[in-house]
């Protein structure tokens, strides 16, 4: 890892720590409905503002894209370096007092994440990586699991869809859930794409399938999972990018089996 990358990683870790401190100590505040069963809290906005201010002070030359008010912010279609933030990944979990939520921040350069940090303050877990520098949790190197077959694998699924077209989108998710239930050791749904990917990286789970690909949800986790040795693709098996329509991460030994199962449910 270059000195410049290391400095940016430390900035990213500090930025996420600022957000994590707010998340750990504050109440949700006012809850506003963004869409069908999709909510934002005052705290989402406060965390985003605090992280954005710190990044603007320390890296003013880098653009910023956050989940909240994303329509007012830069497009990932540019080649500019850009911080991409989800201030609270797992907002519904947080609102209901379920401790599976995280602050997720990535630095995206030329369309690819080069730094990723995920902090789950209620679990005391920090995950981070820089491109070609390995992946770490709470200061220790991590790697994806050694599962050899689907029958000995725990696979997590991203949330079911809400909003426009949810019923149609969820037909595929339900078929996939059924197929996985018949093939793997256990199926899990954590409600946080950041943790789905981080836990594949950490070997806590063996794979995750997220049938969506919002950059603030996945950019940091994709890099961390890759740096931990996981194979990260779309559901067709192509290399994952921010333009992919979905996200699959798996320990390499089961990736082929998993992708075949997913294709058979499409």
CATH of the domain at 203: 3.40.190.80
Q: Give this prediction's pTM.
A: 0.93
- Domain identity same for 177 and 250: yes
Phi, psi of 66 (to 5 degrees): -120, 155
- Domain identity same for 104 and 191: no
Structural domains of the chain, count: 2
Domain CATH number, residue 56:
3.30.540.10
List the one residue out of 214, 218, 79, 60 whose CA is nearest residue 52. Answer: 60
- Domain identity same for 27 and 133: yes
pLDDT tens-digit series, residues 145-181: 999 999 999 999 998 877 767 788 889 899 999 999 9
pLDDT tens-digit series, residues 248-257: 999 999 999 9
CA distance 27 to 17: 17
pLDDT tens-digit series, residues 19-58: 999 999 876 655 565 555 555 678 888 999 999 999 999 9
Could you tell me which residue, 15 or 110, shows the higher pLDDT?
A: 15
Phi, psi of 249 (to 5 degrees): -125, 135
* Dihedral (Cα; 240, 245, 246, 252), 10-degree rounding: -20
Domain range for 179 is 150-265
- Domain identity same for 171 and 227: yes
Please check the confidence at residue 98 and state whether its pLDDT lies above 90: yes
- Domain identity same for 46 and 84: yes
Q: Is 239 helix (H, G, I), strand (E, B) or coil?
A: strand
């Amino acid at each position: 890892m270059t000195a410049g990358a290391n400095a940016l990683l430390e900035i990213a870790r500090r930025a996420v720590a600022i957000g994590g401190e707010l998340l750990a100590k504050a109440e949700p505040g006012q809850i506003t409905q963004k869409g069908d069963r999709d909510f934002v809290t005052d705290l989402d906005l406060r965390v985003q503002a605090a992280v954005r201010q710190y990044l603007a002070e320390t890296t003013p030359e880098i653009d910023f894209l956050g989940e909240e008010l994303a329509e007012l912010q830069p497009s990932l279609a540019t080649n500019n370096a850009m911080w991409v933030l989800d201030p609270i990944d797992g907002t519904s979990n947080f609102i209901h007092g379920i401790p599976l939520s995280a602050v997720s921040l990535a630095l995206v350069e030329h369309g690819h994440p080069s730094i990723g940090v995920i902090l789950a303050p209620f679990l005391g877990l920090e995950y981070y990586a820089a491109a070609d520098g390995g992946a770490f949790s709470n200061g220790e190197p991590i790697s994806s699991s050694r599962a050899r077959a689907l029958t000995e694998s725990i696979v997590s699924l991203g949330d079911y869809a809400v909003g426009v077209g949810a019923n149609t989108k969820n037909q595929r998710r339900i078929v996939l859930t059924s197929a996985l239930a018949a093939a793997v050791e256990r199926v899990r749904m954590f409600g946080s794409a950041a943790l789905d990917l981080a836990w594949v990286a950490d070997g806590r789970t063996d794979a995750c399938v997220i049938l969506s690909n919002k950059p603030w949800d996945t950019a940091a986790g994709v890099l961390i999972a890759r740096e931990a040795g996981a194979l990260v693709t779309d559901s067709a098996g192509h290399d994952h990018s921010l333009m992919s329509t979905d996200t699959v991460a798996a320990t390499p030994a089961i990736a082929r089996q998993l992708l075949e199962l997913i294709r058979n449910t499409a």
